[in-house]
Amino acid sequence: MAPAPVVLLGEHHADFAHLQMEGETLRRAQALGYDTLAVEYPCDLEPAVHAYLASPRDAAAYRAFLEARLDTELAGLGEDAPEVSPAQRQEWIEELRTEPQAVLTKQLWDRAAELGYAVRCIDLPVAALNRLPEVETKADLALRNQFMADYLAEITEDQGRQVILVAGSAHLISEEECPSLQEELDRHEVPHRSFALAVDGRSPAREMRVPEERLAASVDRIAFGAPEIEAFLRATRSGAGAVQSKEPGREPRI
């Protein structure tokens, strides 16, 4: 059997339906040997994430994680870091705790831990992310894709991990002057399979604000459920060929 490719799941952030699909994909992929969840999260917060996941994962443990996250973010601002009163700190911690994307990210980590997955944070460090403009440019996205691909190459090739990555779908779209994450992995000769997650029978192209043709050309498959992802991976690894797409007229690339 061929080596397990890195699985790239392109999500719409803060979408509960995508979270459910990702959790089920993790469960099904265990039978194929996958053991690591990589997430689009600052790499210098990985120790705090690991400390939380090694704990009872209760409210107190998550509070400790949020404290560490806030301290790292303030340190990342350098001389621009504001003075923070205890009341402000409490307010910011509560904002971090209730922010919709953070809530779903925590649930994904918890699900991965329940299944026995290692969790790796592979995005730029906090300080580097703080230097990026609020509206991300192609150059910014390209920098992050290169960094994440370098990290994925290290943990798959050097550490032998079999990885499923959850990241925003924008990282999977190939554009001029902005190589996609898949293209960056090709630079390392790391095999991969990419999926743009879809729900309710609708392609995510409109929500992503990209032409349908560009999305279809960028990813291996527009996936409407975890069973479809599992079947595609099994067929690809066994050499059985393409799995019939649920989207009429679309043949997945293998």
Unique residue bearing structure tokens 């994450």: 181
The pLDDT of residue 27 is 97
CA end-to-end distance (rounded Å), the chain: 16
Nearest one of 241, 180, 242, 251 to 216, comparing CA atoms:
251
The pLDDT of residue 163 is 97
The pLDDT of residue 199 is 83
Residues 73, 180, 232, 21: is their CA dihedral positive or negative?
positive
Cα gap 239→218, rounded to integer Å: 22
pLDDT tens for each residue of the chain, 254 residues long: 456 899 999 998 889 999 999 999 999 999 999 999 999 999 999 999 999 999 999 999 999 999 999 999 999 888 888 999 999 999 999 999 999 999 999 999 999 999 999 999 999 999 999 889 988 899 999 999 999 999 999 999 888 899 999 999 999 998 888 999 999 999 999 999 999 999 887 888 887 788 888 888 999 999 999 999 999 999 887 664 443 333 433 333 33
The pLDDT of residue 239 is 60
Tokens of 99: 């922010």
The answer to whether the CB of 223 falls within 8 A of the CB of 25 is no
Please, which residues have CB within 8 angstroms of residue 130's CB and are 6 or more apart in sequence? 73, 76, 77
Tokens of 159: 């550490």
Q: Residue 75: phi, psi to the nearest 5? A: -65, -35
DSSP string, 97-135: HH-HHHHHHHHHHHHHHHHT-EEEEEEPPHHHHHTS-SS
* DSSP helix/strand/coil, 34: coil
Cα gap 191→252, rounded to integer Å: 16
The pLDDT of residue 237 is 75
> Within 13 Å and on the Cβ side, how many CA atoms surround 131?
12
Q: Tens digits of per-residue pLDDT, 93-117?
A: 999 999 999 999 999 999 999 999 9
* DSSP helix/strand/coil, 3: coil
H or E stretch at 36: strand 36-42
The answer to whether the CB of 8 falls within 8 A of the CB of 195 is yes
